Amino acid sequence: MKFFKVKTVSETLSIIAEQFHPFRPPIKLPITEACGMVLAEDVISGEQVPHFARSTVDGFAVRAQDTYGASDSLPAFLDITSRIEMGRAAQVLLKEGQAQAIPTGGMLPAGADSVVMIEHVEEIGELLNVYRQVAPGENVIRAGDDVERGELVMSAGHRLRPQDLGVLSAIGRTEVQVFPRPTIGILSTGDEVVPTEKKELAPGEVRDINSVTVGAIAQQHGAIVIQGGIVRDDYELFAARARELFAQVDVLILSGGSSVGTRDFTVQVMQSLGEPGVLVHGVATKPGKPTILAKAGDKPVMGLPGHPVSAQIMFQLLAVPLLERLQGVRARQTDVRLSAKLSRNVASAVGRTDYIRVKLEERADGLWAIPVFGKSGLISTLVESEGIAEIPENKEGVLEGETVKVYLIQ
Amino acid sequence: MKFFKVKTVSETLSIIAEQFHPFRPPIKLPITEACGMVLAEDVISGEQVPHFARSTVDGFAVRAQDTYGASDSLPAFLDITSRIEMGRAAQVLLKEGQAQAIPTGGMLPAGADSVVMIEHVEEIGELLNVYRQVAPGENVIRAGDDVERGELVMSAGHRLRPQDLGVLSAIGRTEVQVFPRPTIGILSTGDEVVPTEKKELAPGEVRDINSVTVGAIAQQHGAIVIQGGIVRDDYELFAARARELFAQVDVLILSGGSSVGTRDFTVQVMQSLGEPGVLVHGVATKPGKPTILAKAGDKPVMGLPGHPVSAQIMFQLLAVPLLERLQGVRARQTDVRLSAKLSRNVASAVGRTDYIRVKLEERADGLWAIPVFGKSGLISTLVESEGIAEIPENKEGVLEGETVKVYLIQ
């Protein structure tokens, strides 16, 4: 077996960004089913938005030149010739010296180039006194002002949020090309691991909680989960089940294998799935060091540590970006972590990134991150933690009151 | 009609917290379907976790007293009498002067009280040299150390995250009582508004983008959306459609009504649905002021402004907490907004909370929020904005470089 150097988190994330890409063809979806999906096409508008000149205020459509010089003491006098209704075409041509009543959002009539606000006029029967001059284009959005026909509205790689669906609706798109949801297979290993449904545990057995946790995080990030069940610490059996599941999915997760034997099996199985094989064998983090990343053909395969806290943190930290890559998400430029002051000294080591589960507390002087340590504290840290604080790889530790970055757990 | 004072955002949020509660009976769900749902029961463990004493390291199970005084120069000598296998009961009693090989997670045999790490021993056939003493309980998690039978693991009102499902699995829970997803009905109003499916718009028409945007946000927050379509500016028709939809749902949203007539209709319709009626008529925000909140029986009814940016911000700001209340979520203690420096001066007014759409940019000196203004800029601000920055009600504005709080748009 080749030897692999342990990689830092940022090195591993760079490897993920370089190595993995969407490899399934895009699909077409109705926009109402596309929230959270990633655009596989550049969206070019086939329409002008708005597709007619609209008033942005309640008032009167006019020719701006007819109002020039108008003031409180010397109003312009115009004839009201029509009233424009919402949702209807403005059908009466506006001529010199004329005005037409128009609501916010109403269509500007031909001949008009601006709108005087209702606050600056006085209606006397069919006569309009205008007390303020307007410039051409004032209080009007022209056709195509917002989007021109042929304009790029959104690019491929954009993850569709609710307002993006609104924008697609505005330009008349009811379907879009998106990358399909990746399927993720989860295979748990370990002689002690039994299905979560098992009611009465025998001595020595524990339930398979990682596939539940990891599966739910994967779903939150757009993946379709296929639970592969649990396999014993037997190389042939393990390899056969892994190959079978690997053939059905886009991403394979091997969970568990905390024993020395299983760890070796995991690497062998990962190598056996195809070239180029293992890319990262160990990540310089605490917890989570025994994490393994491989690539077989186009597909990623990840070996997660067996400890539930390690498994969750490493999946969040590395597998979520992996799922985003497979969905074609453009790299995020923004650091979405919260800043919080750490409530106690925490030691670390240079060259290693530490992750600490924290509760968050809003105090008068800002947000504080309180490390969650239980007794032997697995369950309690799992339930109580609201975020994961990061001690960067270039620090020997963090002092009480120092600011750390916190990933929110949601 | 009664007159209502405009409320601030925080007053409105307090009214929401006081007035609304889950009013549908809890349902029982398999935990694999419960991610994001809110617990309607206190979860008490029926089991001990772990349910047997486990080793936390690879090593040898021993009686601590047999190792007392052991050191590199003066090891303790023990007899290896058994090897414990993962997932199996430890069946051989450990007696004085004995050791049993044990893997991480393996079951501690009766008679043993601690584990010596493999790094601190030397195996010579069936003889074990122990070079370091251990204390009773060292490297061992005892049965029930993590959770005792009868212990409260999670309380009602807790929103289930992936790791919580893992914890439920660990204690053998496969189903939980949760509050059902609220149903939300969305009814759009306005003579100019046409369905998003309409291909060719007539002059004066615009597509109904708010029901798409608001519907998608509601789904992100656990609601089941019933689209009520579009109703014309006609009181009788509007009131009849609103009553019909109201009867089917838990929350009714009336969207649109930017014209003066529709605005009056909206309040009348909201009042007609039942007591106590309108609670908030206008919120001191920019944009979003013409937002209306009412209660009819147990159910909330909200009137949203017609402008897409206003509608989205007000829905996010007020309807999302409302949906959380109906799902029984305990009030969030943590401010989950990011801190960012604003890239330009922005004026505001005391007594009013302003919301500005921003792009986020990571710079050497931290996170910056760049206000997004388009030409007439509706679509471009919708697509480009990554967050909503808040100018608090007690400020006249924010200067360039001042820190603001930013809600991330996801």
Query: How does pLDDT run across B306-330, given as a tens digit for each residue?
Result: 888 899 999 999 999 999 999 999 8
A367:B335 CB<8 A: yes
- Please state the three-class secondary structure of A162-231 as a single string: HHHHHHHHHCCCCEEEECCCCEEEEEEECCCEECCCCCCCCCCCEECHHHHHHHHHHHHCCCEEEEEEEE
pLDDT value at position B296?
98
CA distances (Å), origin B34, targets A84, A153, A208, A384, B28: 52, 37, 17, 18, 9
B9-24+180-326: CATH superfamily: MoaB/Mog-like domain (3.40.980.10)
A9-24+182-326: CATH superfamily: MoaB/Mog-like domain (3.40.980.10)
Domain A338-408 has CATH 2.40.340.10: yes
Q: What is the CA radius of gyration of chain A?
A: 31
Structural contact between residues A278 and A4, judged by C-beta atoms closer than 8 angstroms: yes
pLDDT value at position A388?
94
B86:A51 CB<8 A: no
Give B410→chain A minimum CA distance, Å.
6
Give the residue extent of every domain in chain A.
Answer: 9-24+182-326, 27-49+145-178, 54-141, 338-408
Structural contact between residues B363 and B343, judged by C-beta atoms closer than 8 angstroms: no
pLDDT digits (tens, 9 = 90+) for A179-212: 999 999 999 998 899 999 999 999 999 999 999 9
Give the amino acid at B338: L
Nearest to A353 by CA among A279, A287, A281: A287
B145:A201 CB<8 A: no
Structural contact between residues B391 and B404, judged by C-beta atoms closer than 8 angstroms: yes
Report the percent of chain A where pLDDT is more than 70.
Answer: 95
Query: Which residues in A lie closer than 8 A to residue B214 (C-beta atoms)?
Result: 162
**CA max distance for chain B:** 96
Structure-token match 């998003």, residue found:
B196
Structural contact between residues A105 and A153, judged by C-beta atoms closer than 8 angstroms: no
pLDDT digits (tens, 9 = 90+) for B206-219: 999 999 999 999 99
Encoding tokens for residue B326?
């109906």
pLDDT value at position B334?
66
Nearest to B166 among A88, A172, A213 (CB): A213
Structural contact between residues A237 and A243, judged by C-beta atoms closer than 8 angstroms: no
Average pLDDT over residues B70-98: 96
pLDDT beyond 60 at A258? no
Query: Which residues in A lie closer than 8 A to residue B86 (C-beta atoms)?
Result: 190-192, 204, 233, 259
Cα distance between residue B119 and residue A260, in whole Å: 14
Q: How many beta-carbon contacts under 8 Å exist across A and B?
A: 271
Pairing assessment for the beta strands A353-363 and A387-391 based on DSSP bridges? antiparallel
pLDDT value at position B403?
93
Measured in degrees and rounded to the nearest 5, phi and psi for residue A11 equal: -65, -45
* Sequence-separated (6 or more) residues with CB below 8 Å from residue B212: A31, A32, A162, A165, A166, A169, B196
pLDDT value at position B257?
62
pLDDT digits (tens, 9 = 90+) for B132-164: 999 999 999 999 999 999 999 999 999 999 999
Cα distance between residue A163 and residue B102, in whole Å: 56
Range of weakest confidence among A48-62, A203-217, A333-347, B153-167: A333-347
pLDDT digits (tens, 9 = 90+) for B243-255: 999 999 999 999 8
Query: Which residues in B lie closer than 8 A to residue A58 (C-beta atoms)?
Result: 260
Q: Does B350 touch chain A (CB under 8 A)?
A: no
pLDDT digits (tens, 9 = 90+) for B30-72: 999 999 999 999 999 999 999 999 999 999 999 999 999 999 9
CA distances (Å), origin B282, targets A75, A192, B276: 35, 60, 17
The CATH number assigned to the domain with range A54-141 reads 2.170.190.11
Nearest to A335 among B206, B367, B377 (CB): B367
pLDDT value at position A4?
59
Query: Which residues in B lie closer than 8 A to residue A308 (C-beta atoms)?
Result: 163, 166, 170
Query: Which residues in B lie closer than 8 A to residue A163 (C-beta atoms)?
Result: 213, 308, 312, 382-383, 385, 409
B104:A167 CB<8 A: no
Give A291→chain B minimum CA distance, Å.
17
A27-49+145-178: CATH superfamily: Molybdopterin biosynthesis moea protein, domain 2 (3.90.105.10)
* Sequence-separated (6 or more) residues with CB below 8 Å from residue B77: B127, B128, B129, B130
pLDDT digits (tens, 9 = 90+) for A111-120: 999 999 999 9
pLDDT digits (tens, 9 = 90+) for A307-318: 888 999 999 999
Cα distance between residue B218 and residue B253, in whole Å: 11
Q: Which residue of A has its CA nearest to B363?
A: A334
Q: What is the mean pLDDT of chain B?
A: 92
A385:B360 CB<8 A: no
Chain A, residues 364-393, CB within 8 A of chain B, namely 367, 374-380, 382-383, 385-386
Chain A, residues 171-190, CB within 8 A of chain B, namely 171-172, 174, 190
Nearest to A163 among B47, B213, B259 (CB): B213
Structural contact between residues A64 and A133, judged by C-beta atoms closer than 8 angstroms: yes
Query: Which residues in B lie closer than 8 A to residue A289 (C-beta atoms)?
Result: none
**Which residue, among A52, A117, A169, A211, would best test binding to B if mutated, counting the most B CBs under 10 Å from its CB?**
A169
- Please state the three-class secondary structure of A37-93 as a single string: CEECCCEECCCCECCCCEECCCEEEECHHHHCCCCCCCCEEEEEEEECCCCCCCCCC
Q: Does B52 touch chain A (CB under 8 A)?
A: yes
**Which residue, among B138, B163, B168, B210, would best test binding to A if mutated, counting the most A CBs under 10 Å from its CB?**
B163
pLDDT digits (tens, 9 = 90+) for A145-191: 999 999 999 999 999 999 999 999 999 999 999 999 999 999 999 88
Cα distance between residue A224 and residue A52, in whole Å: 43
Give the amino acid at B220: Q
Q: Does B234 touch chain A (CB under 8 A)?
A: no
